[in-house]
Structures are given as structure tokens and as C-alpha cells.
Chains A and B, each alone.
Chain A
């Protein structure tokens, strides 16, 4: 039951004067910006009608009109500083829209074009024996669209498997060396520097390297699945190393010291204490690295050749992956006169590819959260 503690000193309070307070500046009426928005839409429609109507053009004109008119209006009423502030605000929102539009367009295109082609045919047959004749017939409605991407799916799985098998141990062990063993000496710094360099290797150069390496050993133009896996390894290793490094560094030193203080050897500490603590982040990082290379095309083009039939053997014969399948179907349709079936197959394969990538990203996030060490009290 505390009474309102009101402690006014003896000096009397001057009542608020009815004159305009110094504190308020002119404020724009609440309806000003929405009205300008509507006007911009109308003016934009008019302008684009003059030039030749299209929704995109309308949007562009409306946006430009708004971005010019609204800040000027705010400037006039509230002053230059507020005008500048509002201009930046609108620019920021515009940029966001500009960034999202292509994303929506791409996803929509893949869905719209890919769904019709997503038949069991596509998923479970290869292009073996499918020729332009079949496509011409299909284009004229005289037969189903034959051929599928099964061989590409097989290729993707095989090559990615070998790439992961190569890059995860090497990447993991290197990161362990950098965090746990290296004392900032020249070797550690050299490795860090070169890993940084590796992150910048263009994917096609990584492919060229693998091609050149095997070319020198086995003869020029050697192409089979494993060569592609080596190329992808070059791309994956820096991601795995950097991510694992981060995750290992996050593990508090107190945990390591507690383990040493119990007389546990360093390598056991790393295996039994440090890595399990960091495992969720490491696993998540590896998944993301896989998601990144699974969509690579350029290195595959120069290392794995191009196959139409199913090939499970990564060590002989050419292989196709989903990205190269898409690439070739678009660039060189099976039937040059009727490219539509090829396009359909390409987009369906693209849809599968995007679904796999999204799934991997989702798994990475779930793994990170599910296996994160539980903080006490939560």
C-alpha cells in the first residue's frame, strides 16, 4: 500500500503553454505515404501503358515514381534529415523485393516446368536408347516422353559418395591439426593460408586439375566417375576444414583441461570429449558442403564425360550427374527439331536436384539443433 510517491520540490510547476511546443516538429499526416503509394501505382500504370504494357514495366515505373515522390514529400513537410531517412528506408525495402523476385521466379519456373515431367519414367529409366526419333514422336503427341534421369541420379549418388569419403577425413583431420596441435607455427599458418586460397578456386579449375592429374597418370582425356569425385573433393575440403575449425574452437577450453586433469591422453580427449561436443556443428557443416557440391556442373563436364546409360562403377566409364544431365538436355536437346521433351526432362531433373539440395539444407539445420549439446537448465 504505497501511496504514489510524488516528490515535487517547492518551485511551482509551470503549466504547459498552449503555444506550439518546441519539441514537436511538423509531422507528416499518417495518410501521406500510402496515398503517394497509390498515386505511384496509378501513374506507373499510365506511363507503362504509353510505352507498351507489361506488369514488370508497371512495377518499375510505380516504384521509381514512389521512390522520388515520397521522400520529397517527407522532406518538404518534415525536413531534409527525415526525408533522407525515409528515402533510405524505402530503398531498403525495394532492395529486399528485388532480391526476392528472382528467387520466386526461379523456384516457380522449376516447379511449373518440372512437375509435369516428374513421371516414374523420369525417375527410373535412363536415356539409353532414347533418340531424336522418339522425341519427335512425343512432341507430336504420338507417344510418351521416353527417357529419364535415373542414370543421372545414380551418377550423382556415386560421385558425391566418393567425394565425401575423400574430403571428410582429410578435412576433419586437418582442422583437428590446426586447432588442437598447431601452435601458430609456420606450417599451421601455411595450411590456413592455402585453405583460404582453396576456397577461391573456381569450380572449373578444380575440374581441370583433376583431369590434368589423371591425364598425366593414365593418359590424356581420362574420364570416369572417380576423377570427378577428386575434383569435387578439392571443392569440399576447404569448406569442411573451415567449418570444423570453427566448431572445434567453440568447444570451451575448460572441457579439454578437465579431461587432461583426469589424466586422459590428448588424442583420447579429442576423440571422446572435443569431437562429440562439436559433432552437431561438424555434421551440419559436412551436410552443407555436400549440398554445395551436389549441384556442381562445370567440374563434372571436364572430368566425367557424359553417359546415357546407367553406370554404377565410378572407376570406369563415363558418368552423368543430375547437373550435367540438365546442362546437356538444354544445350544439346536429344532431338534438335523438337527440343520440348528434352526441356521437360531437364526441368524435371532440376526439380529433383533442388529438392535434394533443400532436403540436405534442412537436414543440416535439424542435425545442428538435434545433436547440439544441451545447455544446463534448459
Chain B
């Protein structure tokens, strides 16, 4: 074997190359850790003045907590509306692609749903505020007239349609692809063996799905819902453009309410000094909320991996 000659030749240059290269890639990884630590640190530093300032100096005059609390509620409500709408539809669409659509159109349908995800959020916001909001006004009128006794639908309804419910609907459209994409991947991975076992027992298509596909995919669906929640909590444009903001109100069909992200987006360009620090502090709170939600999502999928039946 004459390989010894060739290896000797490249050995010297190569060995250094190995350490350089591995050092570089290690450095990149460490850089990411440093960046993240920096995110947390810098945000905290810039937010610090807000936590240290006297209560009257904060917007609203009653301290940071009372300033941020209504926005936290608004953020959560908008995200919840979006989830309530998007989860059932998302799962059903994923089922359509995996088990109901003929093979030839399943793939194009998947592309179409992915198209929903590709559209930039600002365009959803623009569409929401110009097209969707005004077309929903008659619906809101009907709601306040017939269901107005429920505080959620308390009147009088907004005549521009730029309400929390509209923003929630736009958010739902934006997070739908997240749920559909992950669910559909899981649905098609259901072991054929179990599906056939169910069918061989005399199950209808829905019964087979209920017995094998859904239990198999459940942890993944939950995880995708949590990820979609995280996305909805942090979404800015759909809310900033669509919602006519104002103080906290229980009614979903009136203008009013605000989310953290929209508040920051609307006020940051003009802000300075303590106001700037307030907004960064609000961003920190938002970061923490989405962090917790995302960590729960990952924990769920890690924990249920053993029970999912996937080998």
C-alpha cells in the first residue's frame, strides 16, 4: 500500500486545518450562546431605568405593573382567539391532506397551505385593516344586537371593524400553517401497520383516524399548538395595523385593547428616554412569556416521545 506517501504529504497542512476548522465551528456555536446572553443582558440593562423609576413617571402614572398588565391581557386574548379558531381548522386541513385528499392533489394542497405561511405579516395586516375589518362590521352589529348581553360582545360595535376579534382572526390565518404543517407530517407518519389493524377490525375511516392517527400525533399536535401560541403572542403587524387600540375593554367587537408587540411597534420610533426604556421593558416581558411557552412546547414533545408509539 503506497498510501503512506500521500498521507505524509498532506498531514502537516491538514492537521492544522482540522484544528482551525473545528475551532471555527465551535466558535460559531459559542457566538450564538454569547448573542443570546447578550439579548437578555442588554434588554435588561435598557429596561432597568423603568424598574427603578418612581411610579408616577411611568406612562399611565401608576407604575410599570399597571401599565403593562392590560397589554399582557390583550396579548393573551388575541392569541387565544387565534388558537381557538386555528387549531380545529388546522388539524382538519392536515387530516384532509394526509387522509382524505386524492394522492395527486395532496401535494399541491400542501404547497398552497405553505403559501399562507410565506405571505409577509405586514400584508396580512394591510388586508385585515382594509378588507376584513369593514366586511365584518355587519357581523359585529348582529353580535351586539343579539348577543350583547355577553360582555364579550358588548356594544356598540365598532364601525370600522378594527377590533380585537378581527385581529384575532387575522392572527388565526397566520398561525394556521404552523399547526397544519406539523400535524400533517405526523399524520402521514402514522405506522401503516396500526392503520391497517384498525381497518381490518372493520373501522370506518373516521374511526381508524380516531383510533390510530390522532393518538399517535397528539403530543405533536399539542406541541405545534404551543409553538403557534408563541408565534401569535409575539406577532406585531397583524395587530398594529388591524387593531384600533385603546384602554382595556372586555368587548371583542369594540375598538380598544392593545397587545405588547403592537404597543412597542407603534410608539418606539418616536420614543426616547424613560419611554424608550419602558418599551424595552415591555419587550422583555414579552420575551419571557414567549420563552416560557416555547419551553413548555419543547418539554411536551420531549416527554411524550416515549409514549407516542413511534419507534
Which residue numbers of A lie inside 8 Å of B, CB to CB?
A: 51-52, 54, 56, 81-82, 84-85, 88-89, 91-96, 98-100, 102-103, 105-106, 109-110, 169-174, 176-178, 180-182, 187-188, 190-191, 194-206, 208-209, 211-213, 215-216, 220-221, 234, 237, 241, 262-263, 265-268, 270-271, 291, 294-298, 301-302, 305-306, 323, 326-327, 330-331, 343, 346-347, 350, 353-354, 357-358, 361
Contacts and interface: CB of A to CB of B under 8 A. Distances in A.
B237 A291 contact: no
B123 A295 contact: yes
Contacts of B95: 92
Nearest to B298: A196
B222 to A, nearest CB: 16
Contacts of A270: 21
Contacts of B216: none
Give the interface SS of chain B, mostly helix, strand, loop or mixed.
helix
Determine which residue in A201, A208, A263, A291 has the highest number of CB atoms from chain B within 10 A of its CB, and name it. A208
Contact of B287 (A56, A81, A202, A353): A202
Contacts of A343: 130
B24 A173 contact: yes
A170 B120 CA distance: 25
Given A100-B112, A209-B42, A295-B122, A204 B265 contact: yes
Contacts of A237: 32, 35
Contacts of B130: 109, 330, 343
Given A102-B173, A181-B26, A196-B298, A353 B138 contact: no
A200 B122 contact: no
A173 B126 contact: no
Contact of A234 (B35, B93, B126, B293): B35
A182 B36 CA distance: 20
Contacts of A200: 227, 230, 234, 290-291, 293-294
Nearest to B236: A298
B127 interface: yes
Contact of B46 (A216, A262, A268): A216
Contacts of B55: none
A103 B127 CA distance: 11
B6 A302 contact: no
B234 to A, nearest CB: 2
Contact of A358 (B118, B235, B268, B294): B118
Given A212-B42, A301-B269, A354 B119 contact: yes
B29 A84 contact: no
Nearest to A195: B32
A267 B291 contact: no
Contact of B265 (A54, A91, A301): A301
Given A92-B95, A95-B89, A103 B236 contact: no
B6 A263 contact: yes
